[in-house]
Amino acid sequence: MAGTGVIEPAAQSSTAQNLSRRRFSHDIHGISPDEIDGLMCSSNGRPFLVVHHLSEVQDEGIPFLMPGVPITCRVDNTEKYTTRSKVRVGTLYTVQLTHGHFHWSVKRKYKHFQELHRDLYKHKMMLHLLPLGRFLKDRQQLRAMSEEMPSLHGTERTRRTSSKMKYLEEYLNGLLENSFCRSDHSMLEFLSVGALSFVTDLGPKGLEGPIFKRSGGHRIQGLNCIGHHQFCFRWSRRWLVVKDSFLMYMNRDNGSINFVLLLDPEFKVKVGRSYTDTKYGVCIENFTRSLIIRCSSYRQTHWWSHEINRLTETCDFLKVQRFEGFAPPRENTLTKWYVNGSGYFADLADALEQAKEEIFITDWWLSPEVFLKRPATDNYWRLDEILKRKAEQGVKVCVLLYKEMEMALGINSEHSKRTLMNMHPNIKVMRHPDHVASVIFMWAHHEKTVAIDQTVAFVGGIDLAFGRWDDSQYRLTDLGLAETASPTGDAVDNGLSGGPKPLEPDMQAKEKDLDDLTGNIKLWLGKDYSNFIRKDWVQLDKPFEDNIDRTLVPRMPWRDLSAAVHGKAARDVARHFIQRWNFTKIFKNKYKDEFYPYLLPKSHCTADSLSFTVPGSSKAKVQVLRSADRWSTGTNENSILNAYIHTIENSEHYIYIENQFFISCADDGKTIYNGIGDAIVKRILRAHREQTKYRVFVVVPLLPGFEGDIRLGGGNAIQAILHFTYRTMCRGEHSILSRLREVEDLWTEYITLCGLRKHCLLSQSLVTELIYVHSKTLIADDRCYIIGSANINDRSMLGNRDSEMAVFVEDEDRVLSVMGGQEYQAGPLTLALRKECFSVLVGASSDPSVNVDDPISDEFFLLGWNASAKLNVNIYEKVFKCLPTNSVHNMRQLKEYASEERLCDTDPQQAKKELKAVRGLLVHFPLRFLCEENLLPPLNTKEGMAPVGLWT
């Protein structure tokens, strides 16, 4: 018993864990009396947790019908049908059933009533022949049961159809008042009732019944192997369940779900031998499978096909939605945006604590040891501890991670998987893709989502990983000492000028044991303190050892955005996760065992019943968007790209883009395919021709996020991304500025291209570092915005490469604002988001004299934004000789520039005076940096031999 029911305590430090093998390979079976009561006691329907306890429901004999809730029937219709002999005409009865708030109908012949009566009578006789004490109560209940089946022949009265229906109705209702009869297997099959019939969150009861299903039919390459194709298949008896947005079949004997088919635009139901290659066959298709089932008669095949179409006809997912997406816009959706990881992580931690049933997580990179609330004074808010705590409470935690090419990336998803799965059997982690089996070497699962109880979901650009937590202060230092204001206005560590000395690097490396965090005031522990352009992450299995010397190297601040959504939009996010999870379970052999369950989507008809909400949320129209392909999800979609282009084309006043990449401008299919840059060019030219004011703000990182010393050129990876970034912005015939020749030098009145930079004191020395912009955000006209995981490049946008997810939020309410000097009706959510972004970037949050109310006025665009960016560039270059810079056009100049003396070294006091004039964080992107060099990687390097699509 100890081996299956007791979990030994896990070590606090993940470095002590033995990750060489999976600790749990089986679920902990068994259910407590309190949990049994929880699954039974509800007159409004079963709780959703029944879905995850089907085997226990089977083993414990929990009745499928809700105890204490009457079930009534009404026989209200008859149909005539011809028997196989085509001589006798039979009667088919429609039985309308009600159980609580669930309503459904079944069609039965008279012989089905006879077979039911015979089976019940047989079971009754068996009880009498087995006079065991435990059957005493059943025998008492059975005494009230009629032994005679009401005859449908005989008297004049019984010859009338209405009387026959009445007799059957009274008979069936009499049986259903007997607790033994109503829970008998024969009765449940007669009523088409199963373990999932009355789970409220699965929606209406739907259609159920026994069928034979044929193996094979998968539309995924490699799954229809020998023994599973159309010439060699097998039939299996299963229980088919049809709900309002999916169907599934299960093994009725052991309660296991064998397959789930989600409704999608390719969903079709076909009847006939020509489609099924079998008599009485029904073919049910979607993007991923053609499922063949066999019925018992011609009539039953048409009944199944008719009822499936009737039940699913109102499903949103059968239609291609706006932007060619899978989910429609959801009005009156509670939503909230986040700028930076601090608020996002804190709300996410609180939401995880509220989980009662399921937690779904997708990430490009996940660090189990990341803290969600800071500074951490214990391990309570550490991600792995939160998930373990919820798993111990019975919550099912499902995590999908990108399985990286280890030679190219060091994110160590194997460590993440083992660490989490060794904590509790309720935590399941899948990695995808298998690069060799799927022939996918270059593309990644890039989405970052969390869905909780399919009720609240978080979507955006923030992985639950090291380096992501930050706030609007964008600190460059974290030595764990009290902070005061520096002469430059930045926070510095108090101990650097006479206070306690910081720990030496070798002492920091020994700070591995985080059992006791009492008194800790560090915000970034161990590898969470990062500067990945200086040094990429290594040895992630030792998470609490510093990766860089924090006394000498400033951290690289991380700017990112995310969003929370509720209700139907959250169900859409969860549905996407379920689609990916079930797809991965089918595709990878190691996940086909029952330890990795099939997941079921909740019905949207119960989505407005929110068990909790994220504080500070407001209502808006929300549409969930994605980039998906057959390799990643089993379907095709690029709705994020379509939404971006639509928003740009239809914007009236401005767009604000904040993105990790800016690689666009199509070139007739030679190199770049996404048309975001083209849409920007067309919109600016339209404004120029119409002589209307229109602004484009673009904020990107000053350098790509690859390890490399920019003083030596940065390396091939950095230069490759810079090449395609400059190709989009200003270099070559396809670039935005080249195609704005019509506006000549006036392009600066329409578009501004910027990065972000910060400075600080570290170890009594002035330091500067770029702020890494990891956001994937578009804001337009103070009325709508897109937040997600998709970069502006082909990888993220085309759909057939990386998998991505985003939300398109449109304000439905209006507040009075100003635009171009005129009164303007803005959306409250979008306006607040834009002001939050702009206030920090131009320094308005610390200088009330800077007004960000009117984003397109000359005063703001030319003086508040562009003048600040130009001023800051000049100051940083004077003080730090920053790279990249417009002063360096080739590698020779780069070498000379990097060797020049810096004011911060020769005259620190004067440097501090100069830095006082810095306004905000903006600096202009250096459009002429290395403009005389070919930045494409040499062909004789590994980067040069890689396909161009790797970089674009």
Alpha-carbon distance of 603 to 864, in angstroms, equals 49
Asked about 774 being catalytic, the answer comes back as yes
DSSP class of residue 75 equals: E
CA distance 243 to 886: 61
Q: Name beta bridge partners: 780.
A: 655, 784
In whole angstroms, what is the distance from residue 649 CA to residue 684 CA? 10
What separation, in Å, do the N-terminal and C-terminal C-alpha atoms of the chain show? 55
Q: Which of 586, 581, 577, 418 has the alpha carbon at shortest distance from 25? A: 418
Strands (E), 85-140: 89-99, 102-109
- Tell me the C-alpha distance between 710 and 620, whole Å: 44
| b/e 613-629 (16+ beta carbons within 10 angstroms → b) | bbeebbbbbbbbbbbbb
Spatial CB neighbours of 130, under 8 Å, sequence gap ≥ 6: none
3-class secondary structure for 595-626?
A: CCCCCCCCCHHHCCCCCCCCCCCEEEEEEEEE
Which helix (H) or strand (E) segment holds residue 687: the answer is: helix 676-690
**CB neighbour list of residue 535: distance below 8 Å, 6 or more residues apart:** 547, 548, 553, 707
Strand order, beta sheet including 102-109: 71-82, 89-99, 102-109
Length of the chain: 952
Q: Determine whether 453 is an active site residue.
A: yes
- HSE (side-chain half, CA atoms, 13 Å) at 540: 25
Are 449 and 361 contacting, i.e. CB atoms less than 8 angstroms apart?
Answer: yes
Instruction: For strands 637-638 and 654-659, give the pairing.
Output: unpaired
Do 428 and 397 form a contact (C-beta atoms < 8 A)? yes
3 CB-contact burial (10 Å; exposed 0-12 / middle 13-18 / buried 19+): exposed
Which residue in 264, 781, 782, 802 is the catalytic one? 781
> What is the maximum span of the chain, computed from C-alpha positions, in angstroms?
116
878 is catalytic: no
Helix, strand, coil percentages in the chain from 3-state DSSP, rounded to 5? 35, 25, 45
State the alpha helices, DSSP H only, in 315-432: 341-353, 383-392, 413-421
**Which residues make Cβ contacts (< 8 Å) with residue 385, sequence separation at least 6?**
379
Per annotation, catalytic residue among 107, 776, 835, 924:
776
Contacts 24+ apart (CB under 8 A), 847-851: 847/919, 850/919
Residue 817 tokens read as: 């604002």
Q: Alpha carbon 216 to chain centroid distance?
A: 29
Q: Which of 446, 723, 734, 881 is catalytic?
A: 446
DSSP reduced 3-state for 470? coil
855's tokens: 């984003």
Out of 117, 205, 396, 774, pick the active-site residue. Answer: 774
Strands 330-339 and 618-628: antiparallel
Using DSSP's 3-state secondary structure scheme, residue 97 falls into strand
Tokens of 891: 């590698």
What is the Cα gyration radius of the chain? 32
Q: Distance between CA atoms of 307 and 702, rounded to whole angstroms?
A: 58
Active-site residue, from 107, 205, 213, 448: 448
Q: What is the layout of strands, in order, in the sheet containing 281-285?
A: 256-262, 246-251, 235-242, 207-214, 290-294, 281-285, 268-271
Q: Distance between CA atoms of 248 and 303, rounded to whole angstroms?
A: 17
Token pair, residue 269, equals 């139901």
Kind and range of the H or E run holding 54:
helix 54-59
Catalytic (active site) residue 446: yes
Cα–Cα distance measured from residue 146 to residue 134, given in angstroms and rounded to the nearest whole number: 22
Catalytic residues: 446, 448, 453, 774, 776, 781
